[in-house]
């Protein structure tokens, strides 16, 4: 059965190096890092003292103060990014069938800030002082629920948690919902607000995070020989997906086509990645799009800046693309944003769509010392213009979850 064609008609993003698509994209092209010393709490006793926090973020321009008090930051991020994507798409709920518009949102840890805050309350002040808003602020599905409430969407609403592949899987599942005919439009992507004492301590103690605290902007260095771990980031990336027929009927702005999605699991280890699983996901995305390896020009890599991920991702790309891997242009925007866990695939999908639109790919900053085990074209330090017909966005997560999206240029 031939799939319905799925297109992107709206983008929204909040990232450590830029709030809004224009600011984010400009920062990526100019190699601007959003990594700095943590300000949300005193990291003085922590070996890891850096993260990618949102800067100059003012959600009160979108949401009422009474709303903000009842929402965890991961929900706030999702709502603000979704509003930008919704506005760009030109959707008007008053002229559409709300039962045909749905939500698919990814998050890795949901409302962990609320969870930590309220655990402190119960520990220090007793059970009676726990907020009645605790549960509906913390549960992972609540951001998606608020998207439906805000925009009046009555179609399918699902929350996806597959670690660092969450947003990518959420976008892929949204495409499947559209192709199967259960909706005409989907708001999809991911949101994460995980810069907390517990998460920094947890990831730090398992040796996953970079300890390059000075200077912070040089800490995330994917594919570089001197990489020593990822940097935690926060934010959200939201896309509006539609069937091509629906987008054409309402003369929507078409930004790119989502032509393929592939997913797999390594079935290997809870944290250590393998080569086989990511390769399977990339191959399935190509098969879904009915494209050959030679048709792809750019890869927005998972590129976490950890020793294992970057060499395994390189090997996986080689195994799928064969001789075509030599001509692929690859970059990791995590060098500038850090790793947004379950939201990383959302903001990176936005970057991939923009690359297709503008025919330029952002760089991998902090790339100074080549690694013999990472021997492909990683677009070091400055953006690169070249013809981009098709591009993939990779996301691989703890538990062996792998998700890959394949976008093509809209003509």
Clarify whether 164 is annotated catalytic. yes
d(CA 349, CA 346): 5
Reading the block at residue 283, the tokens are 């191959």
d(CA 243, CA 219): 41
Looking up tokens 């760009």 gives 88
Q: Angle at CA 45, nearest 5°, toward 41 and 47?
A: 100
Q: Are 79 and 148 in contact (CB under 8 A)?
A: no
Catalytic residue (choose from 146, 164, 188, 401): 164
Clarify whether 146 is annotated catalytic. no
Cα distances from 39 to residues 53, 117, 195, 373, in angstroms, run: 8, 16, 10, 36
Reading the block at residue 156, the tokens are 């399918």
d(CA 232, CA 170): 21
d(CA 183, CA 392): 24
Cα distances from 292 to residues 315, 321, 324, 355, 388, in angstroms, run: 18, 9, 10, 20, 14
d(CA 50, CA 63): 29
Q: Are 39 and 60 in contact (CB under 8 A)?
A: no
Half-sphere exposure of 351 (CA within 13 A, CB side): 38
- Helix/strand/coil for 93: helix
- Helix/strand/coil for 211: coil
H/E run at residue 204: helix 197-205
Clarify whether 339 is annotated catalytic. yes
d(CA 166, CA 100): 23
d(CA 75, CA 376): 38
Neighbours of 368 (CB within 10 A): 12
Catalytic residue (choose from 146, 246, 329, 339): 339
Active site residue ranges: 164, 302, 339
């Amino acid at each position: 059965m031939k799939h319905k064609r799925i297109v992107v008609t709206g983008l929204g993003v909040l990232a450590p190096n830029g709030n809004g698509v224009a600011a984010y994209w400009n920062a990526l092209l100019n190699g601007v890092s959003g990594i700095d010393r943590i300000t949300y709490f005193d990291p003085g006793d922590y070996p890891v003292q850096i993260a990618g926090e949102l800067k100059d973020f003012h959600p009160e321009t979108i949401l009422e103060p009474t709303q903000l008090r009842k929402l965890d930051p991961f929900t706030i991020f999702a709502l603000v990014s979704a509003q930008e994507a919704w506005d760009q798409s030109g959707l008007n709920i008053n002229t559409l069938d709300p039962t045909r518009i749905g939500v698919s949102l990814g998050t890795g840890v949901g409302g962990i800030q609320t969870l930590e805050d309220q655990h402190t309350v119960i520990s220090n002040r007793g059970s009676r002082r726990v907020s009645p808003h605790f549960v509906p602020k913390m549960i992972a599905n609540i951001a998606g629920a608020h998207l439906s409430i805000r925009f009046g969407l009555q179609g399918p609403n699902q929350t996806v948690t597959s670690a660092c592949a969450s947003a990518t899987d959420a976008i892929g599942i949204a495409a499947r919902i559209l192709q199967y005919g259960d909706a005409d439009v989907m708001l999809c992507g991911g949101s994460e607000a995980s810069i907390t004492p517990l998460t920094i301590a947890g990831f730090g103690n398992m040796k996953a995070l970079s300890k390059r605290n000075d200077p912070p902007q040089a800490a995330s260095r994917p594919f570089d020989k001197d990489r020593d771990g990822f940097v935690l980031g926060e934010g959200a990336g939201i896309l509006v997906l539609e069937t091509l027929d629906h987008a054409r009927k309402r003369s929507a702005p078409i930004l790119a086509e989502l032509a393929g999605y592939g997913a797999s699991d390594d079935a290997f280890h809870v944290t250590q990645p393998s080569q086989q699983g990511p390769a399977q996901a990339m191959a399935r995305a190509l098969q879904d799009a009915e494209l050959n390896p030679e048709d792809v020009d750019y890869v927005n890599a998972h590129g976490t800046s950890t020793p294992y991920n970057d060499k395994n991702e390189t090997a996986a790309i080689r195994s799928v693309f064969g001789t075509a891997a030599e001509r692929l242009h690859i970059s990791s925007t995590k060098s500038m944003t850090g790793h947004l866990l379950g939201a990383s695939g959302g903001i990176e999908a936005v970057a991939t769509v923009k690359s297709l639109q503008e025919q330029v790919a952002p760089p991998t900053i902090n790339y100074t010392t080549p690694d013999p085990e990472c021997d492909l074209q990683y677009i070091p330090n400055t953006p690169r213009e070249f013809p981009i017909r098709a591009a993939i966005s990779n996301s691989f997560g703890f538990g062996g979850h792998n998700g890959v999206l394949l976008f093509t240029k809209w003509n």
